[in-house]
Structure 1
């Protein structure tokens, strides 16, 4: 869920490089990203198929329940590219064993990780 499509759309298209597949009435966008789909929707309450369930934005960017992880071939290169496009990283890439990774947030404080695994 996103709070404002006009703020989120440039992040997902210009920073991450996703492409717009379809937009629906100002409250949702379908994006193509690395051979997959990302659906951005604005606030929505319970529905017949998800009674008593509401989508909420993260309240505190330092307390998360999930992260969107993107596996990359070269974490340092991806970090430099995304940083140049405007992504604000928590730290530069860090290597622990065979994995190199770093984290950033979208405009609504959702946590993203780029991760390289070297075998």
Structure 2
């Protein structure tokens, strides 16, 4: 299979493990602006966000197809293994709007080299970034 064949009709879904599905769903819908497309039995929700899919799931143990894997939300919000970056046209305006909607930022936007950026967390502590190219 060539890379082009692999990519044909493929889409990317980003999965986040959350403690409280309703709180996470509401945050991504009401604060970040995602569209909730479906939910499954109180254990997962599928959202559309900035042209990609976001799957929120509650934690769980191993399954036959991943026999050693446990899904768990972050246990230390200051130790990050991944983040999502939202590239925006106007970081200051996005910061102001998301704060109005309830996002709590680590700091106001900071200029760092060729970008302006600031960070906030979802209810489970997943790190999110607003970034503007200067």
- The verdict on a shared fold, with TM-score over 0.5 as the criterion, is yes
Partner of 1:30: 46
Separation in 1, partners of 2:100, 2:80: 25
Partner of 2:101: 85
Matched, 1:41 2:43: no
1:56-100 Cα distance to aligned partner (Å, 9 max, x none)? 211121111111111111111110010000000000000112111
SS in 2 for 1:63: coil
**Counterpart mapping for 1:30-109 below 5 A:** 30-109=46-125
SS in 2 for 1:14: helix
Separation in 2, partners of 1:60, 1:6: 21
Alignment size in residue pairs: 118
Separation in 1, partners of 2:119, 2:67: 33
Q: Provide runs of 4+ in structure 1 moved above 3 Å.
A: none
Who wins on radius of gyration, i.e. which is larger?
Answer: 2
Separation in 2, partners of 1:112, 1:53: 24
Q: Give unmatched runs, 5+ long, in structure 2.
A: 1-16
Separation in 2, partners of 1:80, 1:43: 32
Aligned-CA RMSD value: 0.9
Separation in 1, partners of 2:82, 2:46: 21
TM-score, scaled to structure 1:
0.94
